[in-house]
Structure 1
């Protein structure tokens, strides 16, 4: 078996355990402790987070979205491919090393996407970016940690609590969409989304190809003023959107 090579370490602000960028052959992975957070081998659901949401925004002029978490750039690339030339994509990445890796050992994965004039990369906490921008976004895409249950950083739990969901709702325009990736289902979180005033849909996405475990994407819409939120529906896997990096 090809051995892992440790390429670099990236401290996480406020946390003791850093991120590690590892390489094994053509595979690149980011770990926190012994847990693999992301890999370039499995990334279809990361892309689906953007394609499902941006497809619904395609006809809106001057779309503005916020992506929480740069990762290996698959969500960003999918958003760029789906949106028009007048769009703005703000990317908030907490860990400075991740932004550095995107222009260094992972540059081939980003394939110039950070140089697209539509992209505004900010090395900052996505929660701070959300709080600073009331009514500014058509969509907020959160691919932070392993979902509502924080693994990498305890502070991430705030994003998924009632206060964090309310702040995201405030940052969205009417009919704006909050998209969230999770390693698995979480009925309590679905309930929190509904209590926070969103219309909620769940998409189940295969981890890899036609097999493997299913991951969950929540698509939570802020209804237009005066509209009554509905519970939405839980849907099955879409063949074109299968797979996941983890």
Structure 2
């Protein structure tokens, strides 16, 4: 294995609309840090791919479904969706302009350049909660990966997205039978119950084993038809 430096190298540091965001390189890995909180890196991507695949599986062959991905991150979810010809339109909402620029003109282009050039792809610079509050039933799937999970948000304001009112907004942007998929660094039975109370059906949690600690998970729920 190649030697990994003891300390990550800061490639870029920005003061964004929601605080500080940092792009670091640690060996071969690129890492995104928000307000001192580690968000994600380019080491794996299995759970981000499961987020997209699980949503598509629930749709059961719906032709050319339109997916809304909440959070661009390191680009794994977008790249995986764009690599699958079964998806129709792919819309990504990202609130940090620095993250978008790192993909368009920076080091993260190595993950997402093909996906960004795909004619199905659209990037919207916006806060996701504000975005879903303004939209109607447009999407077949909503894949959320903007925090470390419903119980571990990057900023305090994000908590509203996982509340009953926030989930009602998520349901409103989904077409009947559309699926909500939420990535989390740990399971949450409380969030499952909140999904049910918000009217989602077929609620379940899929686990992704990790080398240490509790597994990553994807929470799933379906808007009634």
TM norm structure 1: 0.83
SS state at 2:209 partner: strand
The reply to whether residue 6 of structure 1 matches residue 10 of structure 2 is: yes
User: In the alignment, which of 77, 80, 89 is matched to residue 79 of structure 2?
Assistant: 77
Aligned length: 219
CA deviations 1:30-88 (Å, max 9, x no partner) are 11344321010121101110011123436222311110000111111111223437x11
Structure 1 segments, 4+ long, off by >4 Å, are none
User: In the alignment, which of 200, 203, 208 is matched to residue 206 of structure 2?
Assistant: 203
Task: Please give the alpha-carbon distance, in whole angstroms, between the structure 2 residues aligned to 1:149 and 1:142.
Answer: 14
TM norm structure 2: 0.91
Structure with greater contact order relative to length (CA < 8 Å, sep ≥ 6): 1
Deviation at 1:150? 4.0
Deviation at 1:170? 1.0
CA deviations 1:211-238 (Å, max 9, x no partner) are 65311211110121xxxxxxxxxxxxxx
RMSD, aligned CA: 1.7
Task: Please give the alpha-carbon distance, in whole angstroms, between the structure 1 residues aligned to 2:156 and 2:198.
Answer: 21
Structure 2, unaligned stretches of length 5 or more?
none
User: In the alignment, which of 22, 25, 28 is matched to residue 24 of structure 2?
Assistant: 22
Structure 1, unaligned stretches of length 5 or more?
225-246
Task: Please give the alpha-carbon distance, in whole angstroms, between the structure 1 residues aligned to 2:188 and 2:56.
Answer: 24
Match of residue 168 from structure 1: 170
